Amino acid sequence: MTTTPPSAEAREDTLRVHVPLRERAYDILIGRGLLDAAGARIAPLGARRAAIVSDETVAPLYADRLIAGLAERGIGSATILVPPGEASKSYESLARVCDAVLAARVERGDLVVALGGGVIGDLAGFAAAIVRRGMRFVQIPTTLLAQVDSSVGGKTGINSRHGKNLVGAFHQPSLVLADTSLLDTLPPRELKAGYAEVVKYGLIDDAPFFDWCEANWFGILSGGPERDFAVARSCEAKAAVVARDEREDGDRALLNLGHTFAHALERAVGYDAGRLVHGEAVAIGMALAFRFSEKLDFCSRQDAHRVEDHLTEAGLPTRLQDVPGGCGSADWLLDAMGQDKKVKDGALTFILARGIGQSFIAKGVPADKVKKFLVGELYA
Ligand SMILES: NC(=O)c1ccc[n+]([C@@H]2O[C@H](COP(=O)([O-])OP(=O)(O)OC[C@H]3O[C@@H](n4cnc5c(N)ncnc54)[C@H](O)[C@@H]3O)[C@@H](O)[C@H]2O)c1
Ligand SMILES: [Zn+2]
């Protein structure tokens, strides 16, 4: 396989993935250097002003270049900052951002621009969904996770004391600019965590892409041209699922491969990113999903091993024992999984696999089988 994307259309150095959602259709542009060209890319949307929402880590690195690029095209801007981290997906931050957007004299035809990781995309996107009953917004994702996952698909929102992402709206962006050079300043741990979501797309339904990742992961992490292709291929994969199932009634659930386990592990560490970031939990979750599939005789031992070996090679955790400080008992984890929103009528729904690239939705997986598997994993 070459690094030429099969259907992402190449223009100069920029790759383009179209998200075909009828009147809500939009483009994702991917390439190094897109930030400096943001004014030219955003100008066709016809806005006069932009409210840029960012965090206090990302803004000092990149906001000036964005503001200058917009100004070159006659687009004025105001910058709204929140502290970095998950705690900013709160009612308080949402209220502050909404008020600041209104104070910035941004009119209904203007834009909200999210410059940051998934936290900023989710928060700014939700603010854009509700200020003036809906404003257009542009995503400029600055983490690998945001470029391959959270900026695609239109889910926006904040956390409630009842759980993560429980208050929000579907609101599609008008444009996504994924400048892959922005990932050069990302802490290596965040980069690797985002890579787990890249691998996920291969494991769901694209075995050749998983093969390609095995051969090219280093180029992705180190910022070679492989990175652009990996982001484009991931966006294409997510966009295809979203186009089939925009509001998650059907097979969009496949995107949750590894996530039922991952959410329980994130709960187990009290969402302490110092111990486990989301992508690390997903890496463990995907390795567990394949080993569980092997135990249930859906998947070969060879494929389960290959998944684990690749994640390990890329520097990601794959075992419950890899969770710093431990992750609780099998009963505790089972209970935590029972609280996940993918549970209906007391039966557990998992994404399992018949092999690499052959994932499927398994409904009604008996709790005792899950427990037996987890006990085995904890004492392996
Ligand atoms: N909407 C969706 O469909 C969807 C999907 C997956 C995840 N999410 C959400 O995404 C969030 C996680 O996103 P994330 O992993 O991007 O976390 P994040 O936004 O918290 O970013 C991680 C850290 O990296 C810093 N950072 C960001 N870009 C940087 C850069 N270029 N250089 C240096 N530092 C940088 C940030 O300041 C932050 O400290 C979660 O809240 C999750 O719920 C949403
Ligand atoms: Zn995820």
> What pLDDT score was predicted for residue 343?
54
Residue 256 annotated to the active site: yes
Name the 3-class secondary structure at 256: helix
Dihedral sign computed on CA atoms, order 308, 309, 314, 317: positive
Mean per-residue pLDDT for 304-315? 98
Shortest-distance ligand to the CA of residue 116:
1
Read off the tokens for 14.
């920029």
Residue 255 CA to ligand 2 centre (angstroms): 8
Strand 26-31 and strand 348-353: pairing? unpaired
Strand 26-31 and strand 175-179: pairing? parallel
Catalytic, out of 256, 291, 294, 310: 256
Whether 1 shows a pLDDT value over 60: the answer reads no
Specify whether the CB–CB gap between 59 and 121 falls below 8 A. no
> What pLDDT score was predicted for residue 55?
98
Whether 248 shows a pLDDT value over 80: the answer reads no
| Residue 205 Cβ contacting ligand 1 at under 6 Å | no
Whether 12 shows a pLDDT value over 80: the answer reads no
Residue 236 annotated to the active site: no
Residue 241 CA to ligand 2 centre (angstroms): 15
The more confident residue out of 163 and 12 is 163
Centroid of chain to Cα 144? 8
Specify whether the CB–CB gap between 327 and 333 falls below 8 A. yes
| Residue 179 Cβ contacting ligand 1 at under 6 Å | no
| Residue 180 Cβ contacting ligand 1 at under 6 Å | no
Residue 272 CA to ligand 2 centre (angstroms): 16
Nearest CA to ligand 1 atom 10: 118
What are 156-163's contacts with CB under 8 Å, separation 24+?
156/121, 156/122, 156/123, 156/125, 156/126, 156/128, 156/129, 157/89, 157/122, 157/126, 158/89, 158/90, 158/91, 158/93, 158/94, 158/122, 158/123, 158/126, 159/86, 159/89, 159/90, 163/339, 163/341
Q: Phi-psi bin for 111: left (phi > 0), alpha (psi -120 to 50), beta?
A: beta
**How far apart (Å, rounded) are the C-alpha atoms in residues 71 and 154?**
27
Residues 6+ apart with CB under 8 A from 75: 39, 42, 43, 47, 48, 49, 50
Q: Which residue from 88, 159, 167, 190 has its CB within 8 A of the most atoms of ligand 1, so it is best to mutate?
A: 190
CA distance between the termini of the chain? 37
User: In this predicted model, what pLDDT tens digit does every residue of 342-355 receive, in sequence order?
Assistant: 555 667 889 999 99
| Residue 190 Cβ contacting ligand 1 at under 6 Å | yes
Specify whether the CB–CB gap between 320 and 378 falls below 8 A. yes
What helix, strand, coil percent values describe the chain, rounded to 5? 50, 20, 30
- Facing residues of 157 across strands? 168
Name the average pLDDT for the chain. Answer: 92
Residue 351 CA to ligand 1 centre (angstroms): 24
Q: Which residue from 56, 94, 143, 167 has its CB within 8 A of the most atoms of ligand 1, so it is best to mutate?
A: 143
Residue 278 annotated to the active site: yes
**How far apart (Å, rounded) are the C-alpha atoms in residues 365 and 349?**
6
Nearest CA to ligand 1 atom 44: 150
Q: Which residue carries 């806005």 as its tokens?
A: 47
Task: Return the closest-CA partner of residue 46 out of 18, 19, 20, 75.
Answer: 75
Specify whether the CB–CB gap between 112 and 127 falls below 8 A. yes
Mean per-residue pLDDT for 28-56? 96
> What pLDDT score was predicted for residue 72?
96
> What pLDDT score was predicted for residue 58?
98
Residue 363 annotated to the active site: no
Give the global pTM.
Answer: 0.94
Residue 279 CA to ligand 2 centre (angstroms): 6
Catalytic, out of 72, 86, 214, 248: 248
Whether 233 shows a pLDDT value over 60: the answer reads yes
What are 160-166's contacts with CB under 8 Å, separation 24+?
163/339, 163/341, 164/89, 164/271, 165/89, 165/122
